[in-house]
Amino acid sequence: MKIYLDGKMVEKAEAVVSVFDHGLLYGDGVFEGIRTYNGRVFKLDEHLSRLEDSGRAIMLAMPLSREEMKKAVLDTLRVNGLKDAYIRLVVTRGVGDLGLDPRKCHEKGTVIIITDKINLYPEEHYHNGLEVVTVATRRNLPEAVNPKIKSLNYLNNILAKIEANNAGVLEAIMLSADGWVAECTGDNIFIVRKGELITPPTHIGALDGITRGTVMGLARKFGIPCNEALFTRYDIYNADECFLTGTAAEVIPVSKVDTRPIGTGKPGPITLKLVEAYKGLTRSEGVPI
Ligand code: PMP
């Protein structure tokens, strides 16, 4: 396996960064998780655009232009001969002196591209639904570290994931400080109520997920009303359907939340329609490797 590291393709064992990299020392950096299907990179421009936006928000200039970044991603996939893969693209503030001040980093940021196998939820959950819980750890305040920034500082999500692990489930619902449903540790959330899709607005503290946007587009195409609105755990418990979206997860039905079955306790018709439509789309478009 070859890793792209600052312009070079290096073997996995040699793909190492300095202990003075501010990505490691302070979580100072941004990243993306992208997928390829059957030799095509799905929504590459959308992911690169979000990476640039995350960078702009923390005043981290991309060391590569959009076109150079695209080429680097495609080259890494080509070198590894991968057609179906998960891509982890990381840009850190780079190597510097100790001290959190970004001005202590003298070089351009570090660019890392890892292309690897996809780590998915077990297949059974796509048929039977996933059980999730709400956790005590609240999503970061948008006024502090805005969850719209896909930064290397994922401790907020990790703390929630630990709670999910302790509860014996695979994903956790995180609330905003005010108690609104925000998102999950690595996925966005939707509910279906009376034929209408509802997902939290990102301003309350959620990543503007690429899959979320894609699913909203599919819903529009099918004439399914889709709105961004604030809702609480009560609204999930009383929803007809619930599902999560994410690049790795795709669209995954939720069968149970905080031990309460959602709807019939089985994946609902709108969810299943979107699961299939999303699958179809991922396998029919994308940037060729
Ligand atoms: N929320 C969080 C916190 C995430 O980390 C992710 C991606 N891993 C998502 C939502 C889903 O975003 P996307 O559809 O762009 O993968």
Ligand 1: which of 140, 204, 207, 250 to mutate, judged by most atoms within 8 Å of the beta carbon?
Answer: 207
Could you give the CA distance from residue 254 to residue 237 in angstroms, rounded to a whole number? 11
Q: Of the listed 148, 150, 161, 279, which one is catalytic?
A: 150
Q: How far is the CA of 209 from the centre of ligand 1 (A)?
A: 5
Q: How far is the CA of 106 from the centre of ligand 1 (A)?
A: 31
Q: Is 150 a catalytic residue?
A: yes
Atom of ligand 1 nearest to the CA of 183: 1
What is the reported pLDDT for 52?
A: 98
Could you give the CA distance from residue 90 to residue 112 in angstroms, rounded to a whole number? 5
pLDDT for 90-123, tens place per residue?
A: 999 999 999 999 999 988 899 999 999 887 899 9
* Residue 3's pLDDT band (cuts 50, 70, 90): very high
Question: Which domains does the chain show, CATH number per domain?
Answer: 2-116 (3.30.470.10), 124-283 (3.20.10.10)
Could you give the CA distance from residue 264 to residue 12 in angstroms, rounded to a whole number? 46
Q: How far is the CA of 27 from the centre of ligand 1 (A)?
A: 18
Alpha-carbon separation of residue 47 from 43, 50, 218 (angstroms): 6, 5, 18
What is the reported pLDDT for 107?
A: 81
Q: Which residues contact 128 (CB under 8 A, 6 or more apart)?
A: 253, 255, 266, 267
Across residues 204-212, what is the average pLDDT? 98
> Rg of the Cα trace of the chain?
19
Residue 42's CB: how many other CB atoms inside 10 A?
A: 23
What is the reported pLDDT for 39?
A: 97
What is the reported pLDDT for 237?
A: 98
Alpha helical stretches, state H, the chain: 22-26, 44-57, 66-79, 124-128, 155-167, 210-221, 233-237, 269-282
Across residues 242-250, what is the average pLDDT? 98
Atom of ligand 1 nearest to the CA of 213: 14
Maximal CA-CA distance, the chain: 57
Percent of the chain exceeding pLDDT 70 equals: 100
Q: Whose CA is nearest to atom 5 of ligand 1?
A: 186
Q: Whose CA is nearest to atom 4 of ligand 1?
A: 186
Say what the pTM is. 0.97
Alpha-carbon separation of residue 140 from 154, 201, 203 (angstroms): 10, 15, 12
Q: Is 41 exposed, middle or buried (0-12, 13-18, 19+ CB in 10 A)?
A: buried
pLDDT for 137-188, tens place per residue?
A: 999 999 999 999 999 999 999 999 999 999 999 999 999 999 999 999 999 9
3-state secondary structure of 71: helix
Q: How far is the CA of 28 from the centre of ligand 1 (A)?
A: 18
Could you give the CA distance from residue 265 to residue 130 in angstroms, rounded to a whole number? 10
End-to-end Cα separation, the chain, in angstroms: 17
User: For the chain, what is the mean pLDDT?
Assistant: 97
Q: With the CA atoms of 47, 48, 54 and 58 taken in that order, what torsion angle do they form, in degrees rounded to the nearest 10?
A: 160
Atom of ligand 1 nearest to the CA of 50: 15
Q: Which residues line ligand 1 (CB under 6 A)?
A: 33, 157, 183, 186-188, 207, 209-212, 245-247
Shortest CA distance to 44 belongs to which of 287, 289, 255, 288? 287
Percent of the chain exceeding pLDDT 90 equals: 98
92 within 8 A of 23, measured Cβ to Cβ: yes
Q: Which residues contact 100 (CB under 8 A, 6 or more apart)?
A: 22, 25, 26, 28
What is the reported pLDDT for 128?
A: 96
Atom of ligand 1 nearest to the CA of 249: 16
Q: Whose CA is nearest to atom 6 of ligand 1?
A: 186
